[in-house]
């Protein structure tokens, strides 16, 4: 299999590597960079556990090749907290108990960040629609919605 040199910015840091053409972005993050905050649930674009932001938009990193992210700005859950301060979305998940096992949580939070950037005043329906690509097998949706509502209020303040 051919290899390709890629250079991308992940959570503000430039990363370069030679990668096989068929390496998925999620495996690049987890196995090459040891950034295991991005989870793999289904590997078939269904669950959203692998959601990251690519150039500010949500992407399921199990469906994107690492070479397709060449030159992109990628944000993962590891990039949410800044200077020791939790991102309002992380704070919301903590305060409102928006997680049970936590497996879906990184992907949920990245989807929530993208949603709130696009729509700072989401209704409950907007939140449910915005997170509809992310599944929680613990079915903790009620508190996940409350967590995003908390973050929306905090970000407005």
Given the complex with ligand FES, which of 42 and 81 has the nearer CB atom?
Answer: 42
The answer to whether 122 and 74 have CB atoms below 8 angstroms apart is no
Q: Which of residues 95-114 bind ligand FES (CB under 6 A)?
A: 99-105
Both tokens assigned to 76: 């993962």
As measured in angstroms, the least distance from the Cβ of 21 to ligand FES is 19
Judged by CB under 6 A, does residue 120 bind ligand FES? no
End-to-end CA separation in angstroms for the chain:
51
Both tokens assigned to 114: 């993208």
As measured in angstroms, the least distance from the Cβ of 150 to ligand FES is 17
Proportion of the chain in helix, strand, coil states, percent, rounded to 5: 40, 20, 40
Q: Which of residues 21-60 bind ligand FES (CB under 6 A)?
A: 40-43, 45-50, 60
Both tokens assigned to 141: 């949706």
Given the complex with ligand FES, which of 50 and 152 has the nearer CB atom?
Answer: 50
Judged by CB under 6 A, does residue 122 bind ligand FES? no
Given the complex with ligand FES, which of 85 and 129 has the nearer CB atom?
Answer: 129
Q: Give the span between the Cα atoms of 64 and 59, in whole angstroms.
A: 8
Q: Give the DSSP H/E element, type plus range, for residue 3.
A: strand 3-10
Residue ranges that bind ligand FES, judged by CB under 6 A? 40-43, 45-50, 60, 62, 99-105, 136-138, 140
């Amino acid at each position: 299999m051919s290899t390709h040199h890629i250079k991308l910015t992940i959570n503000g840091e430039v990363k370069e590597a030679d990668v096989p053409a068929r390496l998925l972005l999620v495996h690049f993050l987890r196995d090459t960079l040891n950034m295991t905050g991005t989870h793999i649930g289904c590997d078939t674009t269904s669950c959203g556990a692998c959601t990251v932001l690519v150039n500010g938009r949500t992407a399921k990193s199990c469906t994107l090749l690492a070479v397709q992210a060449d030159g992109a700005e990628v944000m993962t859950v590891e990039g949410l907290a800044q200077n020791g301060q939790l991102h309002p979305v992380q704070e919301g998940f903590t305060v409102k108990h928006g997680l049970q096992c936590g497996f879906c949580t990184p992907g949920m939070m990245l989807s929530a960040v993208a949603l709130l950037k696009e729509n700072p005043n989401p209704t409950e329906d907007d939140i449910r629609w915005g997170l509809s690509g992310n599944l929680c097998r613990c079915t903790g949706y009620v508190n996940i919605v409350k967590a995003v509502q908390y973050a929306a209020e905090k970000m407005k303040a």
